[in-house]
Amino acid sequence: MSEFDWFSRIAGMNYYYRYYPIEYFYESLNKNGITQLELWTCTQHFDINQFTYQDTKRFLKKQKKYGLKTICVTPEQSNPKPYNLAAKDELLQKKAISYFENTIRVASELESPYISMNSGWNFYNENIDEAFKRSMSNMSYLAHFAKKFDVAIVFEALQPEESNIVNSLSDLQRYIQGMGSDNVFINIDFGAMSRANETIDDYYRIFPNSIRHCHFVDGNPTGHLSWGEGTRDVLEDISRLHDNGYAGNLTFEFAQSRYFAHPFDVDKRAIDFLKKTLN
């Protein structure tokens, strides 16, 4: 696997470091040899709202102290968070758009090329096409806004328990084509991909030149598990990414509450497993 330098592409994520200060996250990545991060904007780590956000200069200075670079910013956007791109109420839509505009500004100031977004969610008793149109329209606006800041959007599908708007490759294709933006790219989320019974090759058949990011997780087949805890064949996953010419990062978006107590150890075990399997 020497042709695909997977370790240099690993990005840590603070999602499961939520019970520790942000500097502990930076220290842990540094100790584990990880040099890149995807910043999840939980309030206790980096506060953004529709009106303002924390001073990015201080965070950038700290990151550089630990030899880290932000490669993606991921805003809070899943139910029950208050910022929903597909919100039905007009006031809530405006609130969400202002929040995502600030996220784009933060990404630019942190020198991150991407923000990661999804469709938002719908009410179960509404016409799904209406929610789809609201989300797509708002995303189109944000893609145009982000371009002014040299930031691109990487877009992921969700699982049905999270939203019913974009769950599959066919949904993704309809959404991306409907927007017609050249500033929205694809984020392969291994959990959503597995839930839809799709593969890396399936993604590349539909989006051969648009895949820029990856939420790189194990699963049974889903679950956003740490590597070594699920049933995914990581050797095959890396092989398919390599053969398809993937050039992006691989984010550890591990999402189990049992990881919250000892996140450093979770990352270390995942890295040890990957090194043993891939090297």
Q: What is the pLDDT of residue 14?
A: 98
Rounded CA separation 150/146 (Å): 6
Give the contacts of 91 (CB within 8 A, at least 6 positions apart): none
Q: Which helix (H) or strand (E) holds 38?
A: strand 36-40
Cα 194 from Cα 150, distance rounded (Å)? 32
Q: Quick check: helix, strand or coil at residue 39?
A: strand
Per-residue pLDDT tens digits for 51-65: 999 999 999 999 999
Please, what is the average pLDDT of the chain? Answer: 96
pLDDT at 1 over 60: no
What's the confidence (pLDDT) of residue 3? 65
Distance between CA atoms of residues 203 and 169, nearest Å: 7
pLDDT in tens, 66-117: 999 999 999 999 898 999 999 999 999 999 999 999 999 999 999 999 999 9
| Predicted confidence (pLDDT) per residue in 188-197, tens digit | 999 999 999 9
Q: What is the pLDDT of residue 214?
A: 98
User: How far from each other are the two terminal CA atoms of the chain, in whole angstroms?
Assistant: 7
* Helices 90-109 + 128-147 axis angle, to 10: 30
The per-residue pLDDT for 4 is 76
Whether cis (ω within 30° of 0) applies to the bond prior to 221 is yes
pLDDT of residue 279: 87
- Indicate whether 164 pLDDT > 50: yes
Does residue 162 surpass a pLDDT of 60? Answer: yes
**Model confidence over 112-152: pLDDT tens digits?**
999 999 999 999 999 999 999 999 999 999 999 999 999 99
Residue 2 confidence (pLDDT)? 46
Share of the chain above pLDDT 70, in %: 99
What's the mean pLDDT in 166-183? 96
Q: What are 12-33's pLDDT values in tens digits? A: 999 999 999 999 999 999 999 9
Residue with structure tokens 């006031």? 91
Per-residue pLDDT tens for 214-233?
999 999 999 999 999 999 99
C-alpha 195/C-alpha 160 separation (Å) is 9
Which pLDDT does position 216 carry in this prediction? 98
